[in-house]
Amino acid sequence: MASTPTQASAPARRSLTDRFLHIVEVGGNALPHPATLFALLTLCILVGSWLAVRLDVSALHPATNEVIRPVDLLSREGLHRLLTGLVSNFTGFAPLGAVLVSLIGIGVAEHSGLIGAALRRLVFAAPAWALTPVVVFAGVMSNMASEIGYVLLIPLAGLMFQGAGRHPIVGMAAAFAGVSGGYSANLLLGSLDPLLAGLSQEAARVVDHGYVVNAAANWYFMMASTPLVVAIGTWVTERHVAPRFTSLPDADARDAIAPPDALERRGLRWALVASLALSGAIAWGLLPDDGFLRNSATGGVLDSPFLQGMVAIIFLYGVVTGIAYGLGARTLRSDADVIDGMGRSMSTLGTYIVLVFFAAQFVACFQWTQLGLILAVKLAGLLQALQLPAIPLFVGLVAITAVANLFIGSASAKWALMAPIFVPMFMLLGYSPELVQAGYRIGDSVTNIISPMMSYFALIIAFFQRYEPKAGLGTLVSTMLPYSIAFAIGWSALFALWIGFGWAIGPGAPLTYPAG
């Protein structure tokens, strides 16, 4: 019997996963811009402070036994504080200066072509058997240079896999997993480290006004995370992704990207020499007991100008190696080219600076009202009553962050929202801000690759469509979901192991805080 027209034209039923992703996409699109979100939250804080005072909300500080009462910012004195503090809230916001200085240095390295040439050299030099782990590793390392991994390495990885006789999407998926899924892992420090450390420090000072979070606070853990992310990314690529893409698309000669030429290779050699010279100077200042980069009074390294000046170190490496490469490769002709590179790096930060302005007002108001401290004390009391051990607490933090990442793509925007609550809360439970920040970074990374709210998500779909014209959101999410699940399990297990052994999360960054 012939099927009826109704039967023939009936649309296929959407799977549960498709319906869930649709809800996530619609919900994320319904949220305002992060800057607008911070402005609205600041207004909520103002109204909340007014209500809290009239409801006589209070809490007992567990360390000092003092009664904490909210401050009304809609009072006469509160309004005066808002007016006089507007500028200083912005200019004194810890992450702002750190990010600007870091990116000025990295901008020179990027503008000169050093970062792009180094990535191409790394990928092209890999033997066939090592192609997948090298691509994932290059992706992990590229995240210290912002968007360079997305716009250069991911399409380049597709071409490399195609040249090796494998499907380009397999290479792009491996690169995307490293760039975005392993976003916080790295052997080196990047601009994200001082940015998050600044936000953590601002949040920690809700409890401890003198607390300092250094830029290398998570360095030990993130270095150890790098081989883990590379191993998991390689396993998922070969076990789950490659079998789905076996038929090769037609090669496109127009997409060919050559390995570094003679001038670029000379530039890389010059940059290597400059990097070794700078590293030698730093070692000279750190290794001797009286090294000039050690603390003058104590002779220590953990409290040294080296760690406190990590942002300046990042700046120096970017400028010195970028200039050396530019001179060797002849991409920099004069000092004007160097300044142009710095300027171009700054020109991309307009939206970020606006975001920081509103985030700074939100953080300042949250601190002034003392609502964050009151909320932290209340939540800490609840968790103390539950008597949960450290590992379940932090696995919960990773899970909360991973879910939030599906709706708010910006790592700094999410942490600016979450840090004022979670950092003080965990400090009152006896855990350090550095440990809380590490847990956040895991959750923020693992769901980047399946979040439609991630700013480069549409670009990755366009890359996929170059080789699979019918590829869409479902193709990308279904390809990357195994990475997300594997990263979440493996990274959380490493974190639990780290906490269990009580290892320091970074230099000068213990796991505990004396809650009193």
pLDDT in tens, 234-265: 999 998 888 888 777 655 443 455 678 889 89
pLDDT surpassing 50 at residue 144: yes
449 in a structural domain: yes
Contacts of 230 (CB under 8 A, 6+ apart): 133, 136, 137, 140, 178, 182
Least confident span in 274-278, 415-419, 476-480: 415-419
The pair of structure tokens assigned to 69 is: 């009462």
Please state the φ and ψ torsions of residue 511, each to the nearest 5 degrees. -85, -25
Matching residue, tokens 């396993």: 235
**Dist CA 222 CA 313 (whole Å):** 18
178 in a structural domain: yes
Buried b / exposed e over 398-412, threshold 16 CB at 10 Å, is bbebbebbbbbbbbb
**Is 491:181 a contact under the CB 8 Å cutoff?**
no
Contacts of 62 (CB under 8 A, 6+ apart): 377, 380, 428, 515, 516
512 in a structural domain: no
Strands 67-68 and 59-60, by their bridges, are: antiparallel
Give me the pLDDT at residue 60, please.
Answer: 78
Give me the pLDDT at residue 191, please.
Answer: 66
Mean pLDDT, range 223-227, rounded to an integer: 95
**Dist CA 514 CA 377 (whole Å):** 15
**Is 162:135 a contact under the CB 8 Å cutoff?**
no
**Is 153:175 a contact under the CB 8 Å cutoff?**
yes
pLDDT surpassing 90 at residue 1: no
Q: How many Å is the Cα radius of gyration of the chain?
A: 25
9 in a structural domain: no
Report CA-CA distances (Å) from 330 to 107, 205, 270, 325, 340: 17, 48, 11, 8, 15
Cβ-based neighbour number of residue 514 at 10 Å:
10
Beta bridge partners of 67: 60
Please give the model's pTM, rounded to 2 decimal places: 0.66
**Is 237:177 a contact under the CB 8 Å cutoff?**
yes
* pLDDT interval class at 21 (50, 70, 90): very low
Nearest Cα to 514, choosing from 445, 431, 434?
431
Amino acid at position 221, single letter: F
The upper half-sphere exposure of residue 275, i.e. CA atoms within 13 Å in the direction of its Cβ, equals 14
Least confident span in 41-45, 103-107, 323-327: 103-107
**Dist CA 304 CA 216 (whole Å):** 12
Give me the pLDDT at residue 328, please.
Answer: 93
Number of domains in the chain: 1
**Dist CA 63 CA 80 (whole Å):** 31
User: What average pLDDT does the chain have?
Assistant: 82
384 in a structural domain: yes
* pLDDT interval class at 324 (50, 70, 90): very high
**Is 66:383 a contact under the CB 8 Å cutoff?**
no
**Dist CA 154 CA 152 (whole Å):** 6
Complete DSSP assignment for 247-262: SPPPP-GGG--PPP-H
The upper half-sphere exposure of residue 48, i.e. CA atoms within 13 Å in the direction of its Cβ, equals 17
Give me the pLDDT at residue 58, please.
Answer: 87
Decide: helix, strand or coil at residue 9. Answer: helix
**Dist CA 207 CA 251 (whole Å):** 59
* pLDDT interval class at 25 (50, 70, 90): very low
Give me the pLDDT at residue 15, please.
Answer: 54
The pair of structure tokens assigned to 271 is: 């940059």
473 in a structural domain: yes
* pLDDT interval class at 11 (50, 70, 90): very low
388 in a structural domain: yes
Give me the pLDDT at residue 143, please.
Answer: 73
Least confident span in 73-77, 102-106, 210-214, 478-482: 102-106
Give me the pLDDT at residue 437, please.
Answer: 95
Provide the percentage of residues in the chain whose pLDDT is more than 70.
84
The upper half-sphere exposure of residue 172, i.e. CA atoms within 13 Å in the direction of its Cβ, equals 27
77 in a structural domain: no
pLDDT surpassing 90 at residue 224: yes
Domain encompassing residue 263: 15-67+92-501
Give me the pLDDT at residue 409, please.
Answer: 61
Higher pLDDT, 416 or 224: 224
Mean pLDDT, range 388-405, rounded to an integer: 85
Contacts of 76 (CB under 8 A, 6+ apart): none
* pLDDT interval class at 73 (50, 70, 90): very high
Give me the pLDDT at residue 18, please.
Answer: 52
* pLDDT interval class at 479 (50, 70, 90): confident
**Dist CA 500 CA 166 (whole Å):** 41
Mean pLDDT, range 343-355, rounded to an integer: 78
Decide: helix, strand or coil at residue 32. Answer: coil
Nearest Cα to 85, choosing from 418, 376, 367, 421?
367
Decide: helix, strand or coil at residue 470. Answer: coil
Cβ-based neighbour number of residue 127 at 10 Å:
8
Q: What is the pLDDT of residues 83-98, one digit of tens each?
A: 999 999 888 876 677 7
Mean pLDDT, range 66-85, rounded to an integer: 90
Least confident span in 18-32, 180-194, 443-457: 18-32
